[in-house]
Structure 1
């Protein structure tokens, strides 16, 4: 198993979250102090769990060093804490691991989160209510303080996991079996009541299963839609002449003020020309980077104005996205491009009509680096080097994010690119722009 893979990160983080802190420290405590009263041990348990969260995020940072890797580590650790491999440690107490994760990823959210938790604990005197309300505020706090879509998604999923694990506590409150703060616990056993009432957890689990199944089926459908299509598509360019060792490398979602200049430096040093499919709004924001792309002899294409998903847009709105971007690109660079690539490769019949009516060329790709998932530099390199063939149009990204048009981490693309170019040149491949590659097809 490769150490710099998401699976390895998720597995190790889950195991860290599953580690039975309470059982482990209990045995040490009793062995050294011979005491049965373990209340003094609780602060050490929470502190140990807190550092488990930090450790998982730092491990992902060390091995892959991308936001997605750290987010996966955070989620896996949280799941391990609540659904541990160790039966006696299932439904781990407290949110200390989550706070550790937040301390490493988004430290500024901890203070407002703790304030909300304390206020609702004082107001309701129920730990479950305070926990649920504070975690429901988590995505909003992240959005307000960071605005990064990936962390917002992580906040939503984490909040859902915490709420799901608090269902049992809500049942106890509803049945009068959960004491308020500083009250004594009732003597009636909760298990006896639960046998009589159907747990809502079963309904939630079924709902989550259906949602997961829908997401998987949708992903497989869209993957087939982008890479293969469902009918003859002579109007869509996916590759060049398969019999020649010509390839084209393309970059989507830029220009970006941080990563695009680094990529341009690499291309200039390697004497390679590429095609950049640029977002119109980014061209407006960073015109000097867009002009540099053209000045250094690279080709440019249209990637819509605001990177909206065109699949479900009307023809008029899709036209607006395409035409506005073309207008901005021409005003800034002086180039009127006829190449168009839809965001995420998703197009509709209306988009194809627009392309045909205005003599654009719809360009997709035959090989993706998968760098949009923020995998490691080694994985990006192997994805290209082990799968490349003559005529490939290769997809990279110099900007973009999982959901929005910007904010992604492209440092591993920058690390992998010179290695990829060097290896492919040694293997005899020649780099062309997309237009040159299409000419070779003819």
Structure 2
């Protein structure tokens, strides 16, 4: 009974977070023109030994009251030919996304910083990492963050057979649902490598493909200041920022950079939100 009550509470929080996170936007994410669905970068894959202010009431979770109308099951997302790269709509809205985790050392520090500024983000987790730290997915659910699927072991999907791709996706969906309380609705291919099978299988599993607009390049170990400069110079309405909270490397540069650029983005009038599908 206690477990059922916990999942009910998490689902209510997630529904509230999705609703408030999309304020001021059309609720759609659209890919940019002229972008092709190919490899975009080669971030390091997490190996088996990888270690696991100004606030805005718009982004604060509000209690849900009343039963409300029954939810209609959304239609399966379309099979796309390229991933979604940016958020559409008006206003200075941006998405912060973190790949390859969760990591027991760095992910909590990122979550602490996001909580300090009352900001929501999207975490694309690897199933193998999530299985070792399910409590971090539970915390993401409780704090209103979105969790997406980043495969089980971070392989180059374009070199796998269709059955292997499905296994990488499905196993991760199951772990996310168990720890987070809801199946993922977003998918990001490792290394930004997409092909027809990846798009088709993602759609079959009810996930939309989300890529990024600005690569923070934290995976190259460039130094904290370089990460801050990349994010701040790339900031613009609709931008999706790529960072990493795991991957087998020291991610303190990512943590320290977030502590610096996040308050600056808020001071510049940006609203850091989470993706919302039109069918929700």
- With the length of structure 1 as denominator, give the TM-score of the two structures: 0.45
Determine the C-alpha separation between the residues in 1 that align with 2:204 and 2:225.
Answer: 42
Q: 2:175 aligns with which of 328, 333, 342?
A: 328
Aligned length: 206
Name the counterpart of 1:288: 135
Determine the C-alpha separation between the residues in 1 that align with 2:98 and 2:205.
Answer: 23
Determine the C-alpha separation between the residues in 2 that align with 1:300 and 1:283.
Answer: 11
- Structure 1 position 225, deviation (Å): 2.5
Q: 2:270 aligns with which of 383, 406, 429?
A: 429
Conserved? CA contact 1:242–1:389, under 8 Å: no
Name the counterpart of 1:412: 253
- Structure 1 position 359, deviation (Å): 2.7
- Structure 1 position 242, deviation (Å): 6.2
Query: Does 2:50 match 1:237?
Result: no
RMSD (Å), alpha carbons: 2.0
Name the counterpart of 1:345: 192
* Residues 18-59 of structure 1 deviation map (CA, whole Å, 9 limit, x = unaligned): xxxxxxxxxxxxxxxxxxxxxxxxxxxxxxxxxxxxxxxxxx
Conserved? CA contact 2:102–2:125, under 8 Å: yes
Determine the C-alpha separation between the residues in 2 that align with 1:242 and 1:234.
Answer: 22
Name the counterpart of 1:204: none
Q: 1:387 aligns with which of 223, 229, 234?
A: 234
1:306–1:267: structure 2 CA closer, same or farther, 3 Å change rule? Answer: same
For residues 29-428 of structure 1, the aligned pairs below 5 Å read 225-226=38-39, 236-241=83-88, 243-400=90-247, 407-428=248-269
What SS is found at the alignment partner of 2:229? helix
- Structure 1 position 259, deviation (Å): 0.2
- Structure 1 position 243, deviation (Å): 4.4
Conserved? CA contact 2:141–2:181, under 8 Å: no
Determine the C-alpha separation between the residues in 1 that align with 2:125 and 2:100.
Answer: 5
Conserved? CA contact 1:341–1:363, under 8 Å: yes
- Structure 1 position 294, deviation (Å): 1.3
Determine the C-alpha separation between the residues in 1 that align with 2:39 and 2:85.
Answer: 10
Bigger RCO of structures 1 and 2 (CA < 8 A, at least 6 apart): 2
Conserved? CA contact 2:100–2:125, under 8 Å: yes
Runs of 4+ that moved beyond 2 A: 223-227, 233-236, 356-359
- Higher alpha-carbon deviation: 250-259 or 279-288: 279-288
* Residues 65-99 of structure 1 deviation map (CA, whole Å, 9 limit, x = unaligned): xxxxxxxxxxxxxxxxxxxxxxxxxxxxxxxxxxx
Determine the C-alpha separation between the residues in 2 that align with 1:226 and 1:313.
Answer: 15
Structure 2: gaps (5+ residues): 1-35, 41-79
Structure 1: gaps (5+ residues): 1-222, 228-232, 401-406
Conserved? CA contact 1:393–1:434, under 8 Å: no
Q: Give the number of the structure whose residues are more often helix, by fraction.
A: 1
* Residues 92-123 of structure 1 deviation map (CA, whole Å, 9 limit, x = unaligned): xxxxxxxxxxxxxxxxxxxxxxxxxxxxxxxx
* Residues 332-389 of structure 1 deviation map (CA, whole Å, 9 limit, x = unaligned): 2221112111111112211111123333101100111110111111000000101211
